[in-house]
Amino acid sequence: MKATAPQITQLPVGVINKIAAGEVIERPASVVKELLENSVDAGADRIEVAIEKGGADLIRVADNGCGIESEQLALAIAPHATSKILDADDLFSVSTMGFRGEALASISEVSQFTLRSRTADSHAGAEITVDGGKLSGPHPCGCPVGTSIEVRNLFFNTPVRRKFLRTQQTEMGHITEAFLRVALAHPERHFKLLHNGRAIHDLAATENWRDRILALFGREISESLIPIESFDGDVRLWGFVADPSQNRGNNKLQYLFLNRRCIRDRALGHALGEAYRGLLMTGRYPVTFLQFEMPPAVVDVNVHPCKLEVRFQDGGRIYSHLLGALRTKFLATDLTNRVRSAGEEETPTLDQTASYNRSDDSLNRRKDFDDWVQQQLPASPDHAAEQHNHEPAAEPGMLNLTTFDRAAFDLGGGSQSQPAEVAGSTGQPANFASSAPSTVGGGQRVAALQVQNTYLITEDETGLLIIDQHALHERILYERLKTRLEEGEVEIQRLLTPEAVHLAPAEASAVIEATELLADIGLLVEAFGGDTVLVSACPVMLGRMQPAELIRRIAETLIEADGKLAPREATDELLHMMACKAAVKAGDRLTPEEITSLLEQRHLCHDAHHCPHGRPTALVFSRHELDRRFGRLG
Ligand code: ADP
Ligand code: MG
């Protein structure tokens, strides 16, 4: 027997709007974005955003734009009502930010909403209020020319949504991001953002895009910008890309605008990565501010409810345009010199040798490592005496390097007798720690061969060991930090002058929210207004690592964890991150002294076999295993 067919009914407008609201209005920041775009479309040149309690209590956007006629107010909040397009053809010539006519309908459905507006040729303004979709008004009211919209108690009638609101700081981070995307795209307009009565941004109108970038992202970024301009037919690409020394662990600081609309596009993100290939380490992303201007007809902006994604008629051509423009520019720019001189004049406290240049970077780290080893090692007369011993000592229980040398060269058919280096299979020379053998534990000699600048090969009582240098060093640093932390002995170093670090909004809120946690691990930070935090002390163990870089890495770690970690886990995560950052990397050539110290430290670890992420630090081939593989066991 068949079940009775269910009744099909037309959903009430309120439900339809709530469904639409779910798509367009995800959180307070979405409201801010929609209202700001409306103000821009209305031709306003002064726009003020006031937020209370991260937007949960109040979002108010006031502008001096064209206003709305009193008799049109009710229509403005009706679904699919818009003044921006008339028919489907218009969809392909949209020059406004909005056109779907959904935003005000959606917002007023899920909040307590007031809209006041006055056009230039009316003597008074008019006001409507909407309480969870129920309209009253319009009533006459006094107000300046322009429009002011207040959204109170967002999601008050959709409790599930309301519950999903995060802390004020987090929501404010998203709001600030939404704000700056619009403010960035429209430098010729004055924008202001207030939170709980305090001005966070007050951006004077400017002709110069760099000034707006400066106001939003600070000096370090704005002074590293390289201007870009390039044409391809009627497509214009212009803006700035930051010097490679300004790079991040995610792509959040890659702003791309299409006809003044902030968009995200994977392919174009990829083009940026390609353009910077070889200039950045893997996993790092460039900082860019770029604008595409093109006829509306060659791009479809109606493929995403928030209009964050678009579809290009000829995506391949746009990709090549972007990549080509940047490559050409980089070829004509001496990036190395730029970094040096910019670094010197801007922040004299900055370590002068620091730059994106990989070898410089590893030099610094090398120095840190040396310093650190000096501090950590118990003063052993043996060690000191042997620092300068360049004779490879051949003793029982030790890898015989002399033999190894010759063997390697005999295989290659060469005739040299005492080479210091042997070409590895990929052309990277192997590296011998033959100059500083030293004593560990029960007086046993340790020496190792570094291969591919990544692995250390050595032996212990049981057999042959292949050690991952980065994983091992990371483990050592991690345990050290953790012990100090548990013993409440994190030594902190106060900076002579606190360092102001300018962050992306989401980064700033994550760091500020974690202030206490960071204090526990020896990092003293405080909010400094806007998206800037002030660092006044760092853990001594991190040596010369730049506070700014440390804070950025921490922000990235916190954002990735997205508040889902308990404080303990979060601390642990941060220790991992710091250890990972401070450790030698795969590809770093180590001095014999460093190799020796690493191997010595290995014996002090609780778990020398795994890096903090759980990867093994060493592979062991026991004597038995070797014998078996060489067929000696019969
Ligand atoms: P859309 O922006 O897609 O047209 P909205 O729901 O955001 O849809 O707005 C509906 C209409 O209300 C707009 O088309 C516009 O005519 C009017 N409007 C909204 N905000 C403003 C504003 N700040 N100033 C003037 N008119 C506005
Ligand atoms: Mg709109």
Identify the residue with better confidence: 541 or 225: 225
pLDDT surpasses 70 at 443: no
Identify the residue with better confidence: 518 or 178: 178
pLDDT band at 65 (very low <50, low <70, confident <90, very high): very high
Q: Residues in the chain, how many?
A: 634
Percent share of the chain, pLDDT over 90: 36
Per-residue confidence (pLDDT) for residue 389, from 0 to 100: 34
- Distant-in-sequence, close-in-space partners of 166: CB < 8 Å, separation ≥ 6: 54, 563
Q: Answer yes or no: pTM beyond 0.75.
A: no
Per-residue confidence (pLDDT) for residue 339, from 0 to 100: 41
Phi, psi angles (nearest 5°) of residue 429:
-75, 145
pLDDT surpasses 90 at 80: no
Compute, in angstroms, the gap from residue 108 CA to the centroid of ligand 2. Answer: 13
Specify the residue with its C-alpha closest to ligand 1, atom 17: 76
Range of weakest confidence among 340-344, 348-352, 512-516 = 348-352
Per-residue confidence (pLDDT) for residue 373, from 0 to 100: 39
Segment 103-130 mean pLDDT: 95
Distance of CA 512 to the CA centre of its chain: 16
Q: Which atom of ligand 1 is nearest to the CA of 106?
A: 6
pLDDT surpasses 90 at 356: no
98 within ligand 1 shell (Cβ under 6 A): yes
C-alpha closest to that of 218 among 531, 447, 469, 3: 531
d(CA 600, CA 583): 16
38 within ligand 1 shell (Cβ under 6 A): yes
d(CA 586, CA 283): 14
pLDDT digits (tens, 9 = 90+) for 473-500: 888 888 888 888 888 777 788 887 888 8
76 within ligand 1 shell (Cβ under 6 A): yes
pLDDT band at 433 (very low <50, low <70, confident <90, very high): low
47 within ligand 1 shell (Cβ under 6 A): no
99 within ligand 1 shell (Cβ under 6 A): yes
Per-residue confidence (pLDDT) for residue 368, from 0 to 100: 43
54 within ligand 1 shell (Cβ under 6 A): no
- Please, are residues 143 and 118 in contact by the beta-carbon 8 Å criterion? yes
113 within ligand 1 shell (Cβ under 6 A): no
Segment 382-394 mean pLDDT: 33
Compute, in angstroms, the gap from residue 87 CA to the centroid of ligand 1. Answer: 17
d(CA 330, CA 347): 24
- Please, are residues 111 and 151 in contact by the beta-carbon 8 Å criterion? yes
Compute, in angstroms, the gap from residue 35 CA to the centroid of ligand 2. Answer: 7
Query: Which of 25, 83, 91, 128 has most ligand 1 atoms within 8 Å of its beta carbon, as the pocket-test mutant?
Result: 83
Query: Which of 104, 107, 111, 191 has most ligand 1 atoms within 8 Å of its beta carbon, as the pocket-test mutant?
Result: 104
pLDDT digits (tens, 9 = 90+) for 556-585: 888 887 766 677 777 787 888 888 887 888
Range of weakest confidence among 41-45, 249-253, 291-295, 370-374 = 370-374
Per-residue confidence (pLDDT) for residue 334, from 0 to 100: 66
531 within ligand 1 shell (Cβ under 6 A): no
Looking at all shown ligands, the one closest to residue 302's CA atom is 1
> What does pLDDT average to over the chain?
79
Q: Tokens in use for 308?
A: 């964050």
pLDDT digits (tens, 9 = 90+) for 214-259: 999 998 899 999 999 999 999 999 999 999 889 998 899 999 999 9
Dump the DSSP string for 94-150: --SS--SS-HHHHHHHTSEEEEEEE-TT-SSEEEEEEETTEEEEEEEE---SEEEEE
d(CA 34, CA 103): 6
Q: Tokens in use for 192?
A: 């202001």
Q: Which atom of ligand 1 is nearest to the CA of 102?
A: 6
100 within ligand 1 shell (Cβ under 6 A): yes
pLDDT digits (tens, 9 = 90+) for 297-327: 888 887 777 778 888 989 999 999 999 999 8
Cα 172 to Cα 24, 56, 317, 350, 501, distances in angstroms: 18, 10, 37, 30, 18
Q: Which atom of ligand 1 is nearest to the CA of 67?
A: 25
Per-residue confidence (pLDDT) for residue 287, from 0 to 100: 96
Range of weakest confidence among 369-378, 529-538, 564-573, 589-598 = 369-378
288 within ligand 1 shell (Cβ under 6 A): no
Burial 289-309 (b: 16+ CB within 10 A, else e): bbbbebebeebbbbeebebee
Per-residue confidence (pLDDT) for residue 431, from 0 to 100: 59
The sign of the dihedral angle between the CA atoms of 359, 361, 364, 366 is negative
Segment 545-551 mean pLDDT: 80
63 within ligand 1 shell (Cβ under 6 A): yes
Q: Tokens in use for 593?
A: 């002294």
d(CA 359, CA 451): 18
| E strand or H helix at 622 | strand 618-622
